[in-house]
Structure 1
Amino acid sequence: MENQGRQAERAQSGEETSTLTFEGGAYLDGRASDPSLLGWMQGSPPPANKQISFENGRSLNFPEIRWSLSHMRELVPTVAVRRGNGAPHVFVTLSATDAAAVAALEFTDLNGRRRRFDEALTDTYTDGIVVLHRGRLIFERYFGALQPHLPHACFSVTKSYAGTLAACLVHEGVLDDGELIPHFLPELRRSAWGSATLRQVMDMQTGLNYTEDEADDQSSSSSYMRACRTRPRPVGYDGPQTSYDYLGTVRKEGTHGQVFAYKSVNTQVLAWVMARVTGRSFADLLHERLWAPLGCEEEGYLLVDPAGVPSASGGFCVSLRDLARFGELIRREGEWDGKQIIPAPVLEDIRRGEKHPADGAPSRSSDYSYRSQWWISHDEFDAVEARGIHGQRLYIAPGAEMVVARFGSQPVASAAFIDPIIMPQMLALGRSLCG
């Protein structure tokens, strides 16, 4: 951790930390085959030497991000989520013919353009993708810096891990989701969460004076990241020093329980509640309840704040296959190798959701709802999704017996650029597997 902290200091002070060279200009210059996807990049020349240099804390800028997201541990302090001591679970892999069929699958995106499955991966800045059908690996691709053994940043996919753990604790009676947050955390009595229930936090139905906009350096989310030190602090910074410090400064706006409002700080409150009640950190709970029982191949890790508190709102980094294992566990109703890791009623409650339009739902769909930190699609396959900025996605479709795990590094955070491709892409793949 000392070495990682030094690297972060060097990045913030303006020292160059590394220079890397990639083969293939298309990977780095950000040019998709459909230039309308990111029109603001048109006319921008590709880097002549195809190199990435890390200077001035630019690790999440394009094109540096295409390396950084699978090397976060080398840039910021982290804590490990250990895998189990036994042999890892191994996927049955189908033939090259099956993979070729997936690659050649054609579909029409929401803009009316006809596409091939594999070509769409380039247009959506995919770093890696795994497709499971009935638990078997039928398609797997990696691009650029990502490799099968490397953990990649999940961003807000992390929230769905946290929500699943919390829902399990509620089912077990360890947590009461009807209790107010100060029942668990008296420290937040005077904050926005002083009159919010745990369930309102789990379902993002709190009224907070908090803006969620990673692109705006003056937004609340940017201030929160400075407190966590995942965003550089300016000279003379005297704001909150840790994530918990920041949570105490958030004030109420509006009425809890009335509307859905996606705010990442809710998830950090949720993880704090779990840690307080169980005496186990978020990293420990992930290891004990998911990583070891699932037989994950690789050690995962979580970004931590200056006090060593793991980021539950967006700090998890995992390998692509291990993300797919989590998705397959959800598809299997929580059962794995003869053991019920997640109680089936927990997943039934999540999938049911509340059928109402959610402000901030995936673009071009008003049918999504949100439950226990999961996006509920209510689509033809009863799919649930975990979603993260810059293109992270876990799509679990019980009706098609399919799981798709995807990592990306698109230049902008919002999914508005890629949803018109990815959403019909998933539906077309599910239909082909059902045919």
Structure 2
Amino acid sequence: MGRQIDALTFLPMDSDREMTWEQSLHANYTDGMQILHKGEVVYERYFGCLEEDGKHAIMSMTKSITGLLAEILVVEGALDDTRLVRDIIPEIGDSAFATATVRQVMDMTTGVRYSEDYSDPNADIWLYSRAASPLPKPEGYDGPDGYWEYLQQVEAEGNHGGAFHYKTINSDMLGWIISRVSGKSVTELASERLWRRMGAEQDAYQTVDGKGVPFAGGGVTAGLRDLGRLGLLMLNEGEINGERLFPAEVVRRIRGGGDPSKFAGFPTIPNGSYTSQWWVFHNDHVAFAARGVHGQTIYVDPTAEMVLVRLSSFPRAQNGFIDPTSLPAYQAVAKFLMNRE
């Protein structure tokens, strides 16, 4: 099976030259790749420094774990996604987040000022990183201390609910909301509701700021196989190993996607949307994914009953550079698996 998949060919986006599956793995600096079909592992490979007992930073796929926890709380009735942030977190004060709804935070349709241009040394992402650093603050530092202090001083930019804007601070705002309504940190809740119960074979880790608040927008490090289990949990609508971990409605709402009319600026996902911190492709296979910079992904294809997990170290942060030789490759594998049934 592995050799057959390696030999599969596909046409990258905007190209007239075919590429093999194996060539795409190297082109995209793949560190680990696992494919599950109908619950069975049909492909698993490791490259570079990653081995089967190793762990890898999953970057913004962390957001999808945070979003999944929030959607579970919404469906179970513990979190009202129509409430304003300030009604749940009064400490948010006059921050632009105060007047956003929980759903707008979950779907990243808030109107908040935050630049995530990694190539700009003056971008907000680096100010945020300085606030979040667990190391002692340098002498003379007078900025916010920790994720939540940063969120309290965020300024407005545009209107809430107008359009999708990918900004990590939404994920940490959501993490704060989850912590307040559940009485637990996102790490505790993920451990109790997901990791332990899905039969994970390795611990996962999550970075924290200087006050011990987990980085809900990108701090998780985990093993390839356990991310496959998470993908399988999403494919099977909340069930794994014969046990239901959360209502099927949670995945159905995520898979249904957000409002495509609010989603723009991602040419490799032309018909896509974003909801509950998950990317939804609205393609023929109803695929949806968790995604992180430098090539991290959990790609769920319900039509092909396939879960694909890639861990990667692509040198540029934007996944738009990787998608042209990845998304068509995933679709080629899906078709191959369906045709062999």
TM-score, normalised to structure 1, is: 0.75
* Identical columns (%): 43
From 377, 390, 396, give the equivalent of 2:281. Answer: 377
Kept in 2, the 8 Å contact 1:185–1:273? The answer is: yes
What is the Cα deviation at residue 355 of structure 1? 4.6
Kept in 2, the 8 Å contact 1:222–1:231? The answer is: no
**Higher relative contact order at CA 8 Å, sep ≥6: structure 1 or structure 2?**
2
| Alignment match, 2:114 | 210
Provide the C-alpha distance between the structure 2 equivalents of 1:236 and 1:321, rounded to a whole number of angstroms: 45
What is the Cα deviation at residue 231 of structure 1? 9.9
| Alignment match, 1:93 | none
Give the AA of the match of 2:181. Answer: V
What is the Cα deviation at residue 233 of structure 1? 7.0
Matched, 1:324 2:239: no
Alpha-carbon distance change, 359 to 225 in structure 1, aligned in 2, over 3 angstroms: farther
Matched, 1:426 2:330: yes
Provide the C-alpha distance between the structure 2 equivalents of 1:237 and 1:151, rounded to a whole number of angstroms: 34
What is the Cα deviation at residue 124 of structure 1? 0.4
Give the AA of the match of 2:238. Answer: G
Unaligned runs of 5+ in 1: 1-97
| Alignment match, 1:338 | 242
| Alignment match, 2:177 | 273
Matched, 1:397 2:301: yes
What is the Cα deviation at residue 239 of structure 1? 1.4
C-alpha offsets along residues 164-215 of structure 1, whole Å, 9 cap, x if unaligned? 1100101111110000001111011310111100000000010011112122
Greater C-alpha radius of gyration: 1
Matched, 1:109 2:9: no
| Alignment match, 1:24 | none
Provide the C-alpha distance between the structure 2 equivalents of 1:232 and 1:359, rounded to a whole number of angstroms: 39
Give RMSD over aligned pairs: 1.5
Matches within 5 A, 1:8-407: 98-110=1-13, 111-229=15-133, 236-357=140-261, 358-361=263-266, 363-407=267-311
Give the AA of the match of 1:298. Answer: Q
Provide the C-alpha distance between the structure 2 equivalents of 1:419 and 1:351, rounded to a whole number of angstroms: 20
What is the Cα deviation at residue 235 of structure 1? 6.5
Provide the C-alpha distance between the structure 2 equivalents of 1:212 and 1:112, rounded to a whole number of angstroms: 33
Kept in 2, the 8 Å contact 1:192–1:207? The answer is: yes
Kept in 1, the 8 Å contact 2:208–2:219? The answer is: yes
Provide the C-alpha distance between the structure 2 equivalents of 1:214 and 1:346, rounded to a whole number of angstroms: 32
Provide the C-alpha distance between the structure 1 equivalents of 2:170 and 2:305, rounded to a whole number of angstroms: 32
What is the Cα deviation at residue 240 of structure 1? 1.2
| Alignment match, 1:51 | none
Give the AA of the match of 1:341. Answer: L
What is the Cα deviation at residue 375 of structure 1? 0.4
Provide the C-alpha distance between the structure 1 equivalents of 2:47 and 2:136, rounded to a whole number of angstroms: 29
Give the AA of the match of 1:108. Answer: L
Provide the C-alpha distance between the structure 2 equivalents of 1:303 and 1:101, rounded to a whole number of angstroms: 39
Match of 1:412, SS state, is: coil
Match of 1:293, SS state, is: coil
Aligned length: 337
Match of 2:197, SS state, is: helix
Match of 2:307, SS state, is: strand
Kept in 2, the 8 Å contact 1:226–1:232? The answer is: no
Provide the C-alpha distance between the structure 2 equivalents of 1:332 and 1:365, rounded to a whole number of angstroms: 24
Kept in 1, the 8 Å contact 2:238–2:251? The answer is: yes
Give the AA of the match of 1:240. Answer: P
Provide the C-alpha distance between the structure 1 equivalents of 2:253 and 2:156, rounded to a whole number of angstroms: 28
Provide the C-alpha distance between the structure 2 equivalents of 1:280 and 1:203, rounded to a whole number of angstroms: 22
Give the AA of the match of 2:96. Answer: A
What is the Cα deviation at residue 237 of structure 1? 3.0
| Alignment match, 1:410 | 314
Runs of 4+ residues deviating >2 angstroms: 230-238
C-alpha offsets along residues 83-106 of structure 1, whole Å, 9 cap, x if unaligned? xxxxxxxxxxxxxxx111111111
Match of 1:400, SS state, is: coil
Provide the C-alpha distance between the structure 2 equivalents of 1:232 and 1:408, rounded to a whole number of angstroms: 31
Give the AA of the match of 2:337. Answer: L
What is the Cα deviation at residue 253 of structure 1? 1.5
What is the Cα deviation at residue 359 of structure 1? 2.8
Kept in 2, the 8 Å contact 1:261–1:360? The answer is: no
Unaligned runs of 5+ in 2: none
Give the AA of the match of 1:359. Answer: A
Give the AA of the match of 1:107. Answer: F
C-alpha offsets along residues 334-366 of structure 1, whole Å, 9 cap, x if unaligned? 1112222121111111111135151343x4332
Provide the C-alpha distance between the structure 2 equivalents of 1:338 and 1:158, rounded to a whole number of angstroms: 25
Kept in 2, the 8 Å contact 1:182–1:188? The answer is: yes
TM-score, normalised to structure 2, is: 0.96
| Alignment match, 1:38 | none
Match of 1:137, SS state, is: strand
What is the Cα deviation at residue 238 of structure 1? 2.6
Alpha-carbon distance change, 346 to 148 in structure 1, aligned in 2, over 3 angstroms: same
